[in-house]
Amino acid sequence: MTNTPTEKLFILAAGIMIDPKGRLLIVRKKNTEKYMLPGGKIEPQETPIEALIRELKEELDVEIPLALANFITTYEAPAANEPGYQIRSNLFFILLPQEIKVTAATEIAEAIWITPQEIPNYNFAPLMTSFVIPTWLDLITEAGASLGFDLHNA
């Protein structure tokens, strides 16, 4: 972890959410260009997992059981929409047992399920390109068949 001053640091919880076809859920906030993971800032009274569950409900109208969200790591990267700021993201992995409908709400302009073939079509936040996309691609390449992902029909 870097020693980013706290006034220049956003502490977040975010979910690498993958559906049964192996697709990744990405979101874009209103009035921004970069795509990122669903999630958001952790409130003072919240744990990272509580913040993620709350943000998914507020921003996408998705209710995820706590047991589905597995903590992966904490990762720092430049903030996508605030120059000079860093994010420290508590990343969770969520493998959905079935496809779900997501509805962009509050500050979210778009919520999209993407396949690996669609990666070049999007402008991603720094955390996405440095960590999330490679992690997702490794997972679906190494474990995709055993997890039942159907990437050819995604």
Mean pLDDT of 93-102: 92
Tokens of 101: 């409908």
**Range in 87-91, 104-108, 111-115, 140-144 the model is least confident about:** 140-144
Domains delineated in the chain: 8-144 (3.90.79.10)
Task: Kindly state the percentage of the chain with pLDDT values over 90.
Answer: 78
What is the per-residue pLDDT across 55-97, written as a single tens digit (0 to 9) for each?
999 999 999 999 999 999 999 999 988 889 999 999 999 999 9
Tokens of 90: 């508590």
Helix ranges restricted to H, the chain: 48-60, 126-127, 133-142, 144-147
What is the per-residue pLDDT across 29-52, written as a single tens digit (0 to 9) for each?
999 999 999 999 999 999 999 999
Q: Are 1 and 131 in contact (CB under 8 A)?
A: no
**What is the model's pLDDT at position 151?**
60
Phi, psi of 135 (to 5 degrees): -65, -45
- Decide if pLDDT at 2 tops 60: no
**What is the model's pLDDT at position 1?**
55
Tokens of 61: 């109208």
pLDDT averaged over the chain? 90
Task: Band the pLDDT of 153: cuts 50, 70, 90.
Answer: low
